[in-house]
Amino acid sequence: MGFRGDGSTGVRAPRLAGGAGRRPWRVGVAALVVASVLVTAGCSGDKAETPSWQGGAQSDGSTASESPSPQPTLSTVAVTFPAADATDVVAATEIKYDSEDAANTSVEVKDADGAEVKGTLDKDKKVFTPAKTLGWGKTYTVTVNGTPSGDKGGSTTSSFTVMKKPSKLVRVTSFLGDGQTVGVAMPMIVRFGRSVPEKYRAEVQRRMPVTASPVQEGIWHWISPTEVHYRPKTYWKANTKIFYKVQLAGVPMGDGWYGRSDLTVDLKVGRSFVMTVSNKTKKMTVKRDGKVIKTIPVSLGKKSTPSSSGTMVIIEKKEHTVFDTTDELPEGEGYRTKIDYAQRVTWSGQFIHSAPWSEGVQGRSNVSHGCINVSMAMGKWLFSRTMLGDPVTVSGTEEKLKRYNGWTDWDMSWAEYKKGSAI
């Protein structure tokens, strides 16, 4: 009858009975409403009275009750994965649902003891992701509740049971640990106890989020089936804080193998310390936070054993060590020599190190077996200031750095590096 929810009148002129899709009885009701208005107005004199349908006095003195407001109902919801009463569900499962009003739908997951499972809810994708891997062999209940926003009602509950703990579990380790401070070229390095088949790498990679403060663009790059690295587009900004998760417990990794555990790493990047070496000038230029602080004479590899040209990273430091090549070089060419202030930059055995025997030619000619020779004083000076992850770029030598001979992440363009991502 044209009533409004705020109690005001909603009188409308009657429509023609012949209108398309109209029912004849609606015209009669409208006519009756108009008639009532006319009668009330004619009996009111100069004083307007409230129409009876607004709560005004009836002819018998009683008050008319307002029409009840329509009751809101809940939007239709459903758990779409895991299926109801499913068993052998992967422990690292996500919970998916459907809803007519996903933005205002809640999801609650509880274990068999009634304890709530913490997690994150992506309302755009309609996915609930548990914060931790679910328990092996445990049963969980999912409750999805809609909110007042649709013309259908809905709330649903569904249960599922996680698979039993498998016997084939893959060990996952991080090269870096909590609290470490590293150089601006340090890649994040994660290793697996067995090869990860290509078709599983994308899912593994998605479960390894990296957070940097300040924010910097970066990506994971598969060095091999058992090792994956992460680096930003350009060197890490000095003093960056880095946090990464490896959430692989219970994640399928091929051939019936599953991730053994989760891990997290919280570390930071130190100051910027960048070294560049020119074969043309036979000098190393050292910059700290963008400013040149030292120029050091060097001797690189001779032509028969050249140093590699490319961008390398300090991967190991030994204040005192012994270089023994007697098993690697032809008889009579090998040597065993004590070395001070050694800093490894390739797996094949190239180091930055002090070489008192070549100080007379450093800055003028190359006599090493591929290493970057500096004086005893400069070797000590560098060693006391560098850290793992500091970069050194060598240019102008007879040999190019081989891919993955050390942490060669920065010897690739950003476009090349992204090709190593599984996503």
So which residues are the catalytic ones?
353, 371
Q: Is the peptide bond before 391 cis (omega within 30 degrees of 0)?
A: no
Cβ contact 221:417 at 8 Å: yes
The residue written with tokens 């025997």 in the block is 357
* Pairing of β 148-150 and β 155-162: unpaired
Q: What CA–CA distances, in Å, run from 312 to 186, 337, 347, 381, 393?
A: 10, 24, 11, 20, 6
Residue 400: burial class (beta carbons within 10 Å; 0-12, 13-18, 19+): exposed
Structure tokens at 48: 């307007």
Q: What CA–CA distances, in Å, run from 184 to 107, 240, 388?
A: 42, 9, 9
Q: CA-to-CA distance for 271 and 239, rounded, in angstroms?
A: 6
The sign of the CA dihedral 411, 414, 419, 423 is positive
Structure tokens at 41: 């107005």
Structure tokens at 147: 């909110």
Residues ≥6 apart with Cβ < 8 Å to 113: none
Sheet holding 291-297, edge to edge: 291-297, 283-288, 273-278, 391-395, 308-313, 399-400
Q: Which of 349, 274, 341, 275 is nearest to 308 (CA)?
A: 349
Structure tokens at 217: 């663009």
Residues ≥6 apart with Cβ < 8 Å to 161: 86, 87, 88, 89, 137, 138, 139, 140
32 DSSP assignment = H
Residues ≥6 apart with Cβ < 8 Å to 169: 257, 258, 259, 260
Q: Mark residue 242 as left, alpha or beta (left: phi above 0; alpha: psi -120 to 50; beta: remaining).
A: beta
